[in-house]
Amino acid sequence: MTRFGIFLLWLLHGLPFLLQARIGAALGGLYGIVDRRRRRITRTNLGLCFPRLSEAERERILRKHFRALGRSMIEHGVLIWSSRERVQRLVRMRDVEHLEAMRERPVILLAPHFVGMDMGGIRVAMDYEGVALYSRQKNQQIDELLLRARVRLGKKSILWHRQDGIRPLVRALREGHIFYYLPDMDLGSRDSLFVPFFGVPAATITALPRIARITGASVVPIVTRQLPGGEGYEARCYPAWKNFPSDNLEADVRRMNDFIEARVLEMPEQYWWLHRRFKTRPPGEPKIY
């Protein structure tokens, strides 16, 4: 089954972007129907984060989410096999002056989990020496494909695994590599604080302010938006955060969640709702999923 999926991805990667987008959206919609577990997780997350929306409104977001997800998966074929010029046409950078203004010191790019996160990370790596957080995939074939996509066009790409410890990351940042960091996942209670995400206590890792403090790095948010039809993606940089980190770790982590919330409200269907964001609960609270 994996080999067939890879073959399909390769078969479609040379098609015009508009056609890829339509096929991916259709396959994503089908996936949202077939995979009941992922649909249940997504529906639960949307219910927790948007309780004021009607059930019909949340279901519309759910359907759009799976269509956006399917499209991004199919468009990964461009990242894996297409030319540098075609990847640049698929993913365009915007407001990069906010990143350039901080290049005299270490930089952490805060990249929330939207469906275009890989597109943005790979596009950044084409122009800058960078470090990217990487989680090994259980399927070896998929793992090899994703690794190929992340390093083949990179100017000088380093993949950092949490199991490696923080020292290699700190060293790379101090050597001038940009750290493309995706911080908004539930990794358990260790090194996490429970702070609100859409009003729901969420186990939120504290690594962003801690790494920024250790390295003296600036935090520059970057969000990759999936554009309509065959227009591809737009990776937009935001102004570097001032007075970050502060002397209040919880306030720093809350600031991160507040920023992500604001971007989610701009394009709710593109956030990574498949993740069990509220898996870890405060002591005494029942499990959600």
Taking 70 as the pLDDT cut, the residues of the chain under it are: 1, 134-137, 143, 149, 154-163
Structure tokens at 221: 């948010």
pLDDT at 171 (0 to 100): 87
Sheet of strand 91-94: strand arrangement: 91-94, 233-237, 218-226, 107-110, 178-181, 129-133, 156-160
Average pLDDT, the chain: 91
Query: Chain centroid to CA 145: how far?
Result: 18
Burial 115-129 (b: 16+ CB within 10 A, else e): bbbbbbbbbbbbebe
Query: Structure pTM?
Result: 0.93
Q: So what's the pLDDT on residue 52?
A: 97
Which residues of the chain form beta strands (DSSP E)? Answer: 91-94, 107-110, 129-133, 156-160, 178-181, 192-197, 200-205, 218-226, 233-237
